[in-house]
A and B are shown apart, each in its own frame.
Chain A
Amino acid sequence: MRIAVTVNGTEYRREVEPRLLLIHFLRDELRLTGSHWGCDTSNCGACVVWLDGTPVKSCTVLAAMAHGREVVTVEGLANDGELDPVQRGFAQCHGLQCGFCTPGMMMTARWLLNRNPDPTPGQIREAISGQICRCTGYENIVRAIRWASDYEAGGSR
């Protein structure tokens, strides 16, 4: 079947099998390999992208379901080469080690801050509770997201 999906502002038209998962469409068809594919079972959150502005687990969405919709992946976070404050926060606070969970974590973090610019550490932990990090112990991820929040509130770092 033919689908048209807007990814990071660009419309892509492709012929796909209906059973193709969105994560594979992004990685294999569009070669946008920033979104990771981890557990395959909607548990780990490595595959989180935005679908019409809302984070979803793209291993559990068919590419066909994204037809006519807008997807944003981690490749779409930076603005004109300028890293998003969330990305800077992860760099500043050592919010990653191997980096496997990071794209999904950052997509959820950006969404959280858009809805709630000043989240408590508890609210951050709740927001990323569907995502697994095997390396950091989460502490630095929470700090990274707080860093971005402070940065956007005008705090100088």
Chain B
Amino acid sequence: MQVPAHVEYEKAASLEDALNLLVRYGPEAKILAGGHSLIPMMKLRLVQPEVLIDINGLTELCHITVTDSQLHIGALARHAQLLDSSAAGRHFAILHDAERVIADPIVRNWGTIGGSLCQADPSEDLSAAFAALKGTMVISGTGGSRTVSAREFHTGPYETVVGPAEVLTEIRVPLAHVSGSAYLKVARRAGDWPVGAAGAAVWLDGDTIADAGIGLTAVGARHFAAAEAEEYLRGRPAAADVLARAGEIAAENCRPVSDQRGPADYKRHLACELTIRVLRTALRRARENAAAGGYAA
């Protein structure tokens, strides 16, 4: 029987309360959101916090809204909420593609988006999706809040820039600069972590790729992104040979490791092939969106 070790428990009544509790208890305290990463880790004694600060009551962090310029996702929004958000899916198909293959429907009901990002597993899907979308993370502390780009959020496996007395509160994605997007994952079985996965977000201007964001996960890509391939794509025509080259560049620049999910060379192959395929789908969607009369429509 796996159960967590002894732990104290505090229920935060507000964000301010949660932050004060973090200050009071110090680095041995952990924020408890959905708990779908934390509780399994506690059962295995991979983490042993002294205090859990339960933020599930903070309704102010549960929103998913689209304003004129940005998509706002509260850190406590559940995965299922994102999949159910037609506004989010309309603007960013990549987020629905990704959510459909994250864990399973029951886990998605309770697991939170902020929790997944803060867990910072090197195979996590949304980290790659938000890297592709060049999102922004809002992090709050008792002194106020600050923003960092999605690509600066992770500092290493299971590590983020969120300080011991801070909480990730929101993810923002600008609506401009993306006219089509897609996500694709290869996993060994339903609901599993990826062997490799890729996401793409493109801005198509006529037949030219004005801008592209490429996210990669589980393949050892720096900042979950393929910056060199993006650089190569910028200003080039949306043609098959260009996509093929972008895939090669993405694969050349990641550092996959062999593990029980697959050998490194296979993961590198996936990085290339999945990059090509998500770019192809993102470009097709960009054309469809343009034909329908709006970019991020």
Contact = CB atoms under 8 A, between A and B. Distances in A.
Chain B, interface size: which category? 20 to 34
B6 A129 contact: no
Contacts, number: 81
B105 A130 contact: yes
A97 to B, nearest CB: 21
B32 interface: yes
B43 to A, nearest CB: 7
A145 to B, nearest CB: 14
A73 B2 CA distance: 22
B5 A19 contact: yes
B89 interface: no
Interface string A1-21: 100000000000000011111
A131 B107 CA distance: 10
Nearest to A130: B104
A40 B5 contact: no
A131 B32 CA distance: 24
B162 interface: no
B39 A126 contact: no
Most buried by B among A20, A40, A42, A127: A42
Interface stretch (A57-65, A78-86, A87-95, A147-155): A57-65
Interface of B: 1-9, 11, 32, 35-36, 39-40, 42-43, 52, 54, 56, 80, 103-107, 109-110, 190-191
B35 A62 contact: yes
Interface residues of A, number: 30
A129 B104 CA distance: 6
Contact of A19 (B7, B54, B105): B7
17 contacts: A18-B8, A19-B42, A21-B4, A21-B39, A40-B2, A41-B40, A42-B40, A54-B80, A55-B109, A60-B110, A61-B35, A61-B39, A62-B32, A62-B52, A65-B56, A67-B11, A108-B106
A112 to B, nearest CB: 9
Contacts of A126: 105
A56 interface: yes
A115 B1 CA distance: 34
A21 B105 contact: no
